[in-house]
């Protein structure tokens, strides 16, 4: 492996550092707010800017593809079909900017203070998309790319990636790859670069329990019929034991036990439990017995009541037996749990716990699985090595408790694993006023990505 000094891509990045920051600033000036119809043309302009810039970098077959919504930018740089191919995904659209008066500099007039770049999209995700672009350019303009790259940049991430999975299905041959790399996530903390290799999935349903044809007078009827609110509470209360364990039979089927290695990785992270507690505002942390907070959030499934409503909730009193009671339930799922089966099991549990004195309706919603790229996967290990080379410190292995739908799409349609390698910081105000990106992390991030490409050269394609 070439040393840092002799890697031509790294030297190229360093010698162009100032130009790159200036150019990123130009990209950030385009107000590509996908949610607002008045910015439609700006979103397209950002797509065209990006496409033009990819061509200039030496990427071929660059296209701006129309969708029924905002366009998708595609490009590829094929070095040698025998080498591994990496699909790089990111998004060039941004969130709306209000409240405007809370910005120190206007959101689309980027400003640098203390080596931090302030603008909407600086970290989420235009800054990181551009970081990917220059990492590729640094190879294309010097020794040539060590791997094949394909680029997929969408303009609808901030509005739910409405047309993305349709596009991926339709363009599957173009998108064939061995691996996806996404830079749209934060590091674990300032100074703690991380490789994220696991995400949780999501499954949800709604329950409606009804009894009488309308609210009943509790003086006339109280005691003679079942109260839907009472029945619903009994069912909801049965979901967990007092140790936070889900009681639905089969709920934990398929859940991988945490390996000793993973537990060690998690516990070695600079995680401040008090700080985390403070973020929640709760008086105390609580969760499934036998697991640490990070383990509960990253690697254990949950069942949550997201909402419940029934009867009279106005001021004063209204002595009724409510006609119905409702609840919304969702489960965060970990990799290898079968989402459809989890919903089956939860539904069966509700049915079995529901007496025949009421009527039960369950509305089942879509479910997505959790995703995991194994710790010992070549790409996960390569990402860690790339971080260690550039940052001269160990990389953190992290998972995230949330879901990123595009990762599920890559897993299910393209059948490829994803490595999440982001260089934003958790407190860089994504979606909020004064969004920013630490330029030191932008520089090191682009160097890390450029290094990763050389380390992936020997991955089995
Ligand atoms: Zn994003």
* One-letter-per-residue 3-state SS of the chain: CCCHHHCHHHHHHHHCHHHHHHHHHHHHCCCCECCCHHHHHHHHHHHHHHHHHHHHHCCEEEEEECCCCCCEEEEEECCCCCCCEEEEEEECCECCCCCHHHCCCCCCCCEEECCEEECCCCCCCHHHHHHHHHHHHHHHCCCCCCCEEEEEEECCHHHCCCCHHHHHHHCHHHHCCCEEEECCCECCECCECEEEEEECEEEEEEEEEECCCCCEEHHHHCCCCCCHHHHHHHHHHHCECCCCCECCCCCCCCCCCCCHHHHHHHHCCCCCHHHHHHHHCCCCCCCCCCCCHHHHHHHCCEEEEEEEEECCCCCCCCCEECCEEEEEEEEEECCCCCHHHHHHHHHHHHHHCCCCCCEEEEEEEEEECCEECCCCCHHHHHHHHHHHHHHCCCCEEEEECCCCHHHHHHHHHHCCCEEECCCECCCCCCCCCCCEEEHHHHHHHHHHHHHHHHHHCCCCC
Is it the case that residue 357 has pLDDT exceeding 90?
Answer: yes
Whole-number mean pLDDT of the chain? 96
Question: How far does residue 292's CA lie from ligand 1's centre (Å)?
Answer: 28
For a pLDDT cut of 90, what percent of the chain falls above it?
A: 96
Question: How far does residue 240's CA lie from ligand 1's centre (Å)?
Answer: 34
Question: How far does residue 91's CA lie from ligand 1's centre (Å)?
Answer: 7
- Report all structural domains of the chain as residue ranges with CATH numbers, in order of start: 4-199+370-456 (3.40.630.10), 201-255+301-367 (3.30.70.360)
Model pLDDT for residues 154-195, shown as the tens digit of each residue: 999 999 999 999 999 999 999 999 999 999 999 999 999 999
Residue 81 CB: number of other CB atoms within 10 A? 8
Model pLDDT for residues 184-209, shown as the tens digit of each residue: 999 999 999 999 999 999 999 999 99
Question: How far does residue 7's CA lie from ligand 1's centre (Å)?
Answer: 30
At 422, list the tokens.
């982001």
Model pLDDT for residues 274-307, shown as the tens digit of each residue: 999 999 999 999 999 999 999 999 999 999 999 9
34, 94 Cβ separation under 8 angstroms = yes
Is it the case that residue 6 has pLDDT exceeding 80?
Answer: no
pLDDT of residue 4: 47
Question: How far does residue 17's CA lie from ligand 1's centre (Å)?
Answer: 24
Question: How far does residue 321's CA lie from ligand 1's centre (Å)?
Answer: 47
pLDDT of residue 5: 52
Report strand pairing: 201-210 vs 116-118: unpaired
Question: How far does residue 274's CA lie from ligand 1's centre (Å)?
Answer: 28
pLDDT of residue 460: 82
Question: How far does residue 116's CA lie from ligand 1's centre (Å)?
Answer: 18
Query: In Å, how far are 238, 342, 353 from 242, measured between CA atoms?
Result: 10, 21, 18
Q: Which residues of 329-343 are buried (b: 16+ CB within 10 A; e: fewer)?
A: bbbbbbbebbbeebb
What's the N-to-C CA distance of the chain in angstroms? 19
At 152, list the tokens.
């997929």
Model pLDDT for residues 403-460, shown as the tens digit of each residue: 888 999 999 999 999 999 999 999 999 999 999 999 999 999 999 999 999 999 999 8
Handedness of CA 209, 211, 214, 216 (dihedral sign): negative
Question: How far does residue 430's CA lie from ligand 1's centre (Å)?
Answer: 8
Question: How far does residue 295's CA lie from ligand 1's centre (Å)?
Answer: 24
Question: How far does residue 131's CA lie from ligand 1's centre (Å)?
Answer: 14
Is it the case that residue 370 has pLDDT exceeding 60?
Answer: yes
Residue in the structure block whose two tokens are 């985390």: 276
Residue 15 CB: number of other CB atoms within 10 A? 10
Q: Per-residue confidence at 147, pLDDT binned at 50, 70, 90?
A: very high
The average pLDDT across 206-217 equals 98
Is it the case that residue 15 has pLDDT exceeding 50?
Answer: yes
Question: How far does residue 461's CA lie from ligand 1's centre (Å)?
Answer: 28
pLDDT of residue 403: 85
Question: How far does residue 97's CA lie from ligand 1's centre (Å)?
Answer: 15
Report strand pairing: 194-199 vs 371-372: antiparallel
The average pLDDT across 339-348 equals 97
Question: How far does residue 256's CA lie from ligand 1's centre (Å)?
Answer: 29
pLDDT of residue 212: 98
At 78, list the tokens.
């094929």
Q: How far apart are CA 437 and CA 232, in angstroms?
A: 47
The average pLDDT across 40-67 equals 98
Is it the case that residue 2 has pLDDT exceeding 70?
Answer: no
Residue in the structure block whose two tokens are 């959030």: 297
Is it the case that residue 84 has pLDDT exceeding 60?
Answer: yes
Question: How far does residue 192's CA lie from ligand 1's centre (Å)?
Answer: 20
Higher pLDDT, 189 or 461: 189
Is it the case that residue 310 has pLDDT exceeding 50?
Answer: yes
- Which is nearest to 190 in space by CA: 433, 444, 16? 444
Question: How far does residue 185's CA lie from ligand 1's centre (Å)?
Answer: 7
Model pLDDT for residues 87-134, shown as the tens digit of each residue: 999 999 999 999 999 999 999 999 999 999 999 999 999 999 999 999
Question: How far does residue 348's CA lie from ligand 1's centre (Å)?
Answer: 37
Question: How far does residue 344's CA lie from ligand 1's centre (Å)?
Answer: 32
Question: How far does residue 327's CA lie from ligand 1's centre (Å)?
Answer: 30
Question: How far does residue 114's CA lie from ligand 1's centre (Å)?
Answer: 24
pLDDT of residue 1: 45
């Amino acid at each position: 492996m070439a040393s840092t000094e002799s890697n031509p891509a790294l030297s190229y990045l360093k010698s162009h550092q100032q130009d790159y920051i200036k150019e990123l600033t130009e990209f950030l000036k385009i107000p590509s707010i996908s949610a607002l119809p008045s910015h439609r043309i700006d979103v397209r302009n950002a797509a065209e800017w990006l496409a033009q810039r990819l061509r200039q970098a030496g990427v071929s077959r660059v296209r701006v593809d129309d969708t029924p919504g905002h366009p998708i930018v595609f490009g590829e740089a094929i070095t040698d079909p025998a080498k591994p191919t990496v699909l790089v995904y990111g998004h060039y659209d941004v969130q709306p900017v209000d409240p405007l008066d809370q910005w120190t500099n206007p959101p689309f007039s980027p400003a640098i203070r203390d080596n931090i770049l302030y603008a909407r999209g600086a970290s989420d995700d235009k800054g990181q998309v551009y970081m990917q672009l220059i990492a590729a350019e640094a190879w294309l303009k010097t020794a040539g790319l060590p791997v094949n790259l394909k680029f997929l940049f969408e303009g609808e991430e901030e509005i739910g990636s409405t047309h993305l999975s349709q596009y991926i299905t339709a363009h599957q041959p173009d998108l064939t790859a061995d691996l996806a790399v996404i830079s749209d996530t934060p590091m674990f903390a300032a100074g703690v670069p991380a490789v994220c290799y696991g995400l949780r999935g999501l499954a949800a349903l709604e329950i409606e329990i009804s009894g009488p044809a309308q609210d009943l007078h509790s003086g006339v009827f109280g005691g003679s019929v079942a109260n839907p609110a009472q029945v619903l509470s009994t069912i909801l209360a049965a979901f967990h034991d007092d140790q936070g364990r889900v009681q639905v039979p089969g709920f934990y089927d398929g859940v991988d036990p945490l390996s000793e290695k993973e537990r060690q990785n998690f516990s070695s992270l600079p995680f401040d439990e008090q700080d985390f507690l403070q973020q929640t505002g709760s008086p105390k942390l609580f969760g499934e017995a036998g697991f640490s907070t990070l383990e509960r959030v990253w690697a254990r499934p949950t069942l949550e009541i997201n909402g419940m409503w029934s009867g009279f909730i106005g001021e004063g009193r209204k002595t009724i037996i409510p006609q119905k009671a409702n609840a919304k339930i969702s489960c965060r799922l970990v990799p290898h749990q079968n989402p459809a089966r989890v919903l089956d099991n939860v539904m069966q549990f509700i049915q079995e716990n529901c007496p025949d004195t009421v009527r039960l309706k369950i509305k089942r919603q879509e479910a997505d699985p959790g995703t995991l790229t194994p710790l010992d996967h070549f790409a996960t290990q390569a990402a860690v090595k790339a971080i260690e080379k550039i940052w001269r410190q160990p990389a953190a292995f992290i998972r995230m408790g949330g879901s990123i739908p595009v990762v599920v799409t890559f897993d299910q349609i393209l059948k490829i694993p994803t490595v999440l390698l982001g260089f934003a910081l958790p407190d860089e105000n994504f979606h909020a006023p004064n969004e920013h990106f630490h330029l030191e992390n932008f520089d090191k991030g682009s160097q890390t990505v450029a290094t990763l490409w050389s380390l992936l050269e020997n991955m089995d394609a």
